[in-house]
Amino acid sequence: MEDSLQIGNSLLPAISVVIPEVIYEKTLDAWIKTLQSGTKSKVVTENGEMTIFGAILKDVTEFPVNVYSRFVEQDSVVFLAAAFETRKDLYIEKATGEAENKIRF
């Protein structure tokens, strides 16, 4: 769903998803592995906020993107919100077409 993500003092347009009945640590590790796959960049985590610059996510775009995300565990679900910056201050705001169901981790 369309959402927003607070990163530092900025409110970024984001896409969020609720993932039911998963193991938090395993799902978080899979998300980080997906973000780092195909790039030399590493995910940096600070205050629960994850960032990676130059991520290669072929299911999202053919170009490298900056990804800002937050993982939150609540009861029996994991909440993931992510903002995808394609160019300086230009964000993907809605999943469309095949990309909606393509990203798997």
Beta bridge partners of 4: 13
List the alpha helices (DSSP H) in 1-105.
24-36, 99-102
pLDDT tens digits for range 10-24: 899 999 999 999 999
> What is the enclosing helix (H) or strand (E) of 96?
none
At 96, the pLDDT band (50, 70, 90 cuts) reads low
If you average pLDDT over every residue of the chain, what do you get? 87
> What local confidence, expressed as pLDDT, does residue 99 receive?
45
Task: Give the domain ranges of the chain.
Answer: 2-92
Does position 58 have pLDDT exceeding 50, yes or no? yes
pLDDT tens digits for range 62-77: 889 999 999 999 988 9
Share of the chain above pLDDT 70, in %: 89
